[in-house]
Amino acid sequence: MDVIKLTRELGKAIQEDDGYKLFAAAKEKADNDTELQDLIGKFNLKRMDLSNAVTASEPDQAKLEQLDKELKELYDTVMSNPTMIEFNATKQAVDSMMSFINQILTASVNGEDPFLVEEAHDCGGNCGSCGGCH
């Protein structure tokens, strides 16, 4: 049994999954949504402005508060964009699937029966690889 070959087949199966296809389509839609990309660009510029203001030799508190307010407003606008909402929902579904796949693989490496692994929805505190709270 060639584990690498099986892993490549798993990768192909993931790409054929309906949830992945929805995610890929939503990602392409988000990448091509000029309004959304403009908002993301404005958000990133505002974030840099805030970062520069924070690290200034004498930070202006009023300016910091205004930049922070503007940054939060831009963030809310980006996150409430219908294309971004669709992207985030489909990404969360794929992240959840990938998390379960990783749970199965990890359990297998630890000697557990992969067919008995149940999907865990617990939070370890580090959201870096999280598929979202359930």
Question: Tens digit of pLDDT for each residue in 41-86?
Answer: 999 999 999 999 999 999 899 999 999 999 999 999 999 999 999 9
Distance CA 103, CA 114 (A): 9
**Same domain, residue pair 109 and 70:** no
How does pLDDT run across 91-116, given as a tens digit for each residue?
999 999 999 999 999 999 999 999 99
Domain shared by 4 and 39, yes or no: no
Question: What are the angstrom distances between the C-alpha of 45 and each of 27, 42, 78?
Answer: 22, 5, 14
Domain finish residue from 62, 80, 98 = 80
> Which residue intervals of 17-81 are DSSP H helices?
18-32, 34-54, 61-79
Please, is 64 exposed, middle or buried when counting C-beta atoms within 10 Å of its C-beta (0-12, 13-18, 19+)? middle
Considering the domain architecture, whether residues 93 and 52 belong to the same structural domain is answered as no
Give the domain-ending residue among 43, 61, 80: 80
**How far, in Å, CA of 40 to CA of 75, rounded?**
8
Domains in the chain, number: 2
- Smallest CA-to-CA distance from 128 within 90, 109, 102 is with 102
What range defines the domain where residue 105 resides? Answer: 1-30+83-134
Answer yes or no: are the C-beta atoms of 46 and 77 closer than 8 Å.
no
> Which residue among 48, 64, 80 closes a domain?
80
- Statement to judge: residues 58 and 124 lie in one domain: no
**Is the same domain home to 74 and 100?**
no
Q: pLDDT tens digits, residue range 7-43?
A: 999 999 999 999 999 999 999 999 999 999 999 999 9
Residues 26 and 40 in one domain: no
Same domain, 38 and 72: yes
Count other Cβ atoms within 10 Å, centred on residue 34. 7
